Structure 1
Amino acid sequence: MHSVNTRTLDLNLLVVFATLWDTQNVTRAGERLALSQPAVSHALRRLRERLDDELFVIGRHSLVPTARAMELIGPVREALGRLDDVLQGSTAFSPATAQRKFRIASGDFVEFLILPRLIQHIASEAPGVMIEVVPLPANNALPSLLENGEIDLVISTPVAFGAGLREETVTKVSLLTLIWQREGLSPGRFPLDLYLERPQVMIEMHQREGNIIDASLRAQGLARRVGVLVQNFMAMPVIASQTGYICNLPGPIAQAFAQTFGLSCHQPPIDFPEPELFAYWHARFDADPGLKWLRERIKECANTSDE
């Protein structure tokens, strides 16, 4: 492998490298960089010569990074990010004057628990800030989306993302068990025998990946019945109200929808651990003052949303 003298290395080549990684296409990289396709190809050729590696090879549908490119992308992104920070200065994020859009990937229950209070807070403190919430992509796609800045933040239950990402606890969420009011259950803890007998409305993703409810039941040699699998939390109380099925929801959601759909709220039949919500972001944005501000506001809103 050739040694590389960083003093003579054109930093523009690293920008081209990072953009090719994002786009996996010479033409699209050129469009993003306002360069012609030959100029991008020439830059890639120069970088290949300096690093003595192909870096990207032609795949079936796009450019595919080599093992060497996979080793380089993290350090290159971090270096470019730090350089941007230095050149732009370390001025603090000013919410009152900021003009910025943050993209957050989360599930629908996070939108219900946190988003209304967060938007209310932003409207008064940071009117130029916009929040865009996008669905959670597949877990294997999230690290690269966070790394290249397409998503600023992920708010989710615990996920194993691997190296390069940061995480912090946002809040813990208590669970309540719901069933239609016509069942006539007394307030308090839900009867265990009915909990195991009656079919339940469950989130399909949780059924596939496992969850704290089933893990807690298995620890006691118990199992609940799956009545229907749905894609989002908002469908659960609607189905429960029309079928007599049971559903388990985060406390604030359960209390908000119980009266609307004629459901009664109860403590679960056994003590389930409280699910935790985490915020995930990429290490290259650790020094981003705007992202720090957003994370702080999200934690504040999450921990006061049930007041």
Structure 2
Amino acid sequence: MAESNDHAFSPIAEAPVHRLNLNLLYPLDAILQAPTLTEAGRRVRLSQSAMSHALRRLRDHFGDDLMTYTGGSQYPTPLGQALRPEVRRVLREVEGALSLSLTFDPLTTTQTITIATSETIEQMLLGPVLRALSALAPGLTVNLMPIDVNAPDRSLDQGADLVLVAEEAAIRGLESLPIITDYAACMIWNEHPDLHNVDDISETQYRAARHIVARDEMTETFPLDPLGANLLRARRICVRSTSQATLPTIVIGSDLIATGSSWLFQNYASIMPLRVITAPFPRKPNVILAQWPRYRRDPMVAWFVEQIRAHVPNAGIDPAHARMNISNLPVI
């Protein structure tokens, strides 16, 4: 008698995902992120009763409370805490897949690209690109948003398609492409009372000087050795400006020293009575990256990254930083 093949048709154990209505992913994300269940319902446009029903189903599925609500506040369970970034990542991938397009015509597009970056990179890197868009992509809308260098991945949760960030603050797990190499430097007024005739500044002079810092100072992401880090911490900060853009007008006519992007400071010095001098710590490269989610094979993002590269004169990417291959870019 032939051997029975009944085992070949035995039912396969049902995967957990098959037991869960995937429409519950959006309520789950809202529950894990919002301060109250009512606010979670508002975010996904569901009533209080519908959200309570969704929460019960989710608790049954995971066998865990996920969130507890006490005194008007929510407290995630360990599983709820672990699920937060994972659920948000899954939703980003789903939305990226559903919005995927294999074609992009810059001349006719009416799409929107959202870019997260610092003020310095916005001024120096995006300015030339944005000025060219009126001819290259007249219907493209560009949204610029500030990036939190301490938690740059939050930008993705806030809708960023592209992140421009220093390598030191790079987001793990994203496609990355080096754009330009920058270095830390000091900027002073041409007629600085003590430093007007020097090309660099000694450690002693740096410690004794009066310093100005901007709210979004780039030195937070510069690679520094212990000496450089100690010197920055020991600075006598006399002025704190609201932004990088106001640094030049405050430095001019003063004895203040600004420390930051050589790239940005050289631009200021080319149009104002300012000088860029060597900082009193080892010169280490600060590579600026373009980053985007791996699941995004969006030709719009690829095209925009290429526009950035085309408008960066003498990008100066060191061979050591060429490990991030341009082949990561989707083909247009």
TM-score tier after normalising by the smaller chain length? 0.7 to 0.9
Map of 1:104-123 to 2, 5 A cutoff?
104-123=115-134
Q: Is the CA contact 2:97–2:296 (under 8 Å) kept in the aligned structure 1?
A: no
Q: 1:21 aligns with which of 27, 32, 40?
A: 32
Find the counterpart in structure 1 of residue 273 from structure 2. Answer: 262
Cα distance in 1, alignment partners of residues 272 and 131 from structure 2: 26
Paired residue secondary structure (1:28): helix
Distance in 2 between residues matched to 1:210 and 1:6, nearest whole Å: 40
Alignment deviations for residues 146-203 of structure 1 (CA, whole Å, 9 cap, x no partner): 2x34334443334457755554433212455433323597888335375565433334
Task: Give the direction of change, closer, same or farther, for the CA distance of 1:270–1:189 in structure 2 (3 Å limit).
Answer: farther
Amino acid of the residue matched to residue 123 of structure 1?
S
What's 1:67 paired with?
78
Gaps of 5+ in 2: 1-13, 317-332
Segments of structure 1 that go 5 or more residues without pairing to the other structure are none
Tell me the CA shift for residue 12 of structure 1: 0.8
- Given that 1:176 and 1:250 are in contact with CA atoms closer than 8 Å, whether structure 2 keeps it comes out as yes
Q: Retained in 2: the 8 A contact 1:204–1:230? A: yes
Q: Which residue of 1 aligns with 2:330?
A: none
Aligned with 1:291: secondary structure? Answer: helix
Aligned-residue offset at 1:241: 1.5
Taking structure 1 as the reference length, what is the TM-score of the superposition? 0.74
Cα deviation, 1:261-295, whole Å, max 9, x if unaligned, reads 42234455665223222344455x54344334434
Q: Is 1:37 matched up with 2:55?
A: no
Q: 1:1-307, aligned counterparts within 5 Å?
A: 5-58=16-69, 62-84=73-95, 87=98, 90-137=101-148, 139-140=150-151, 142-146=152-156, 148-159=157-168, 165=174, 167-183=176-192, 189-190=199-200, 192=202, 197-203=208-214, 209=220, 211-212=222-223, 215=226, 217=228, 225-231=235-241, 232-258=243-269, 261-268=272-279, 272-282=283-293, 285-303=295-313
Q: How far 1:119 moved relative to its partner?
A: 0.7
Is the contact made by 1:24 and 1:62 (CA closer than 8 Å) also made in structure 2?
yes
- Label 1:22 to 1:292 Cα distance change in 2 as closer, same or farther (>3 A): farther
The 10-residue stretch of structure 1 (161-170 or 23-32) with the greater mean CA deviation from structure 2: 161-170
8 Å Cα contact 2:114-2:145 kept in structure 1:
yes
Contact kept in structure 2, 1:171 and 1:278, CA below 8 Å = yes
Count, aligned residues: 300
Distance 1:67 1:41, change over 3 A: same
Kindly state the Cα deviation for residue 229 of structure 1 after the two structures are TM-superposed: 4.5
Letter in 1 for 2:165: S
Identity %: 24
Distance 1:135 1:87 in 2: 26
Separation in 2, partners of 1:157, 1:273: 13
CA-based RMSD of the aligned residues comes to: 4.0
